[in-house]
Structure 1
Amino acid sequence: MKNTFLRVFLVVLLSNTVVVSIGLTIVQFVQKHNQVSADLLGDIGVQLVAGYEKFGLESLKEEARKAEKRLSGSIYLYQENGRPLLKPLPKNFRDSNTATTDSPSDSSGDLARVDGRPSADFLHSQFIQVIGANNVQYLLIFKPNPEINSLAPELVIGFSLLGLLVSSGVLAYWLLGPLLKLQRVARLFGQGDMTARVEDKLVRRSDAIGKLSREFNQMAVRIDTLLSSKERLMRDVSHELRTPLARIEVALTIAEDKYGMELQKSYLARIRTELHELDELIGQVLTLSRLEAAALSKQTMDLQRWLEEIVEDVSFESQLKGISVTKSGTNPKTLLGDPLQLRHAIENVLRNACFYAGKGGLIEVSTEEKDGHAFIYIRDNGPGVPDEKLEKIFHAFYRSSEAREANSGGFGVGLTISKRIIRAHKGQIEAKNRPEGGLEVCFKIPLV
């Protein structure tokens, strides 16, 4: 953490230094072009005054033009009585627009600027007092050309913003780039890709991000190992449990054939029924554990034909109870998914609906397509489920008291299996009571 803090501090410090350096460079550039040293102006003033006092006004004007060209500005020279020896200042010192066109300064082009910028002002001009012969005092005013003055603030702001953008971009990329990579790997791992790992480039880093990357990879390895061990344990337990169950059933058959009395046969039949239920429970638990780790085998499937086959199978099984199962809807046509796993999910809900609908029940299966998703609805006319228990019916081994009293023979695992299969397809499953009575279960599965 200290190393990361130091890096962030140095990056921010460097970015601020760059911005400040650019600003100072621009300011120095402006000052260099807009300001002349007082010593230089004093020397020029002394030369101009000496030339004027010795050679007259024409010599002064000629030397002043040379000095203005060299200094990139305008020179104004006044005697102590206020009389201008060169061009006079504008009437309004801050705005040359008020100057008259008949001023002697018209020939120099310094007055009446068309863009309205000041020709001279106290902020940018320099004032030098020059002493001539016989202690006569003169006032020299130097005003630099305004082009650089008008451009300097925009340059400072522009370069400052550019420096901030560049430094912020570098800082954001340095901080967020690795975090985004970690986010992508975490998302893949969370979606069931147990092989997802952070790349070596991030793992080799010596800061907090590198430490986080290494810990994530270690966590991923541990979780992958635990899930593999769990699945292997479930397979082993299933095998070990089913082997003695098979032996018990063989022993029951022998007992019924050779030693069974009429009174004993009813107890032996009950034992056989419980054995079959125990075997079925072991199979469902094994299926439930595999769903957490096993990868889906997705393929493009003809949804309507596939669903019709399921409806036909369930209808055939339920015809003796007088249960009618119908199908409606023609869209969507195709779906990308695991046909076998999805069949388990649909059949679990469909058989559950048939059981609770009871003799003469009506089951409706319908499909539709909305917003890039396939919707499969299974509706029955059974007693429904209390609203406070709608969410709980998808929990493992949960059965309402009504189900127990009805002696359903189930274990509360079928709907949990259905929910995990749909979630593995990045879909959703919900249940709600119908206003006219019965339960509606909705499957929402992405088409892509």
Structure 2
Amino acid sequence: MSYPARFDRGHTDDLMTFLAASPTPYHAVANAAERLEKAGFRQVAETDAWDGTSGGKFVLRGGAIVAWYVPEGAGPHTPFRIVGAHTDSPNLRVKPQPDTGAHGWRQVAVEIYGGPLLNSWLDRDLGLAGRLALRDGSTRLVNIDRPLLRVPQLAVHLDRSVSTEGLKLDKQRHLQPVWGLGDAHEGDLIAFLEEESGLQAGEITGWDLMTHSVEPPAYLGRDKELLAGPRMDNLLSVHAATAALVAVATAAGTGSELPYIPVLAAFDHEENGSQSDTGADGPLLGGVLERSVFARGGTYEDRARSFAGTVCLSSDTGHAVHPNYAERHDPTHHPRANGGPILKVNVNNRYATDGAGRAVFAAACEKAGVDFQSFVSNNSMPCGTTIGPITAARHGIKTIDIGVAILSMHSVRELCGADDPFLLANALVAFLQG
């Protein structure tokens, strides 16, 4: 079996482009879809009848995408190899009545999405992006990628205790960004977006809008061995999985045999529980996989056989050891930047990895020539979770939790090793190839 060309630092360069162009889940899936289409994948509508032909296909639903490649000769019970990720990141999202303000300042009313590091959103130049629903029933993406809003921090002269007692932020009172001077008028923000988007007044009837830092991703450090940027949790994994799926499909198109059907599943709403029609706890993935089986002439028995042999890597960022807070980490597990992808373990099933799953990931990393690290939480600290346990429980699919170790998780600007994105992508290629 031929092995696709290995990814290198050029992959990280491309990740920076992807991050900058994907300020929202809707933009992220649109950009992933564009890359898949260039590689020969075609979009299929959920409302259409599906065929069982070979080749690459993908489904878009809101801020989620599921893509798969059916190799020549795949049977109806051929198992899947899935890389799961999520497209959403914690941020500030616009409320239904966005126009507000006080004391001569015009502001935008926002709601807190997920669990952001709130202080990281202060004194940042913020843009505005998302999805617009139009009067004719269509939708349109919008991205105001220039300094438009700002959440100003209170001056130290008016909060002398901030440096000794810490910053205390009220989510309702202290996080509303300013975007101009004067009195607020109902409809101002939407009228501005209509003008920016070349729309007529009154065309926008619904919106899903969110703020983002306009500071672009950048290499950091003396030797540029680090990467700083937004939304690495978890667009880093979405980008790596997209690149890996394209590489595997391209190699298969040149005659490389595949024992599995490789799949990318990038969900929305992981940061608030995954319970939506585009989240991992919804029916999207299971419906796509089942329809793929049935489109190839399969029966329920074939579906059961296929799922029984299927494995999913739940790829999400994890915690690198923090040099200033090493005591917060497990004393014997210190994942390092540029040390390769991490295997996440939690015996209370906050992560889905077990010993058999570890062996699957270890084999993929060995095949790719990539070192990996293990992550467990300090017993005295609560452990986060991912789409991994949800995927395993909902679909009865063996799932392994992995990712890349980063610092500043849930900050408006996160930090990772510049080599880790392409090391992850190489491991994902080996996994998808089987």
Structure with greater strand percent: 2
Give the TM-score category using the shorter length: under 0.3
Q: Give TM-score scaled by structure 2 length.
A: 0.19
Structure with greater helix percent: 1
Q: Give TM-score scaled by structure 1 length.
A: 0.18
Larger Rg: 1
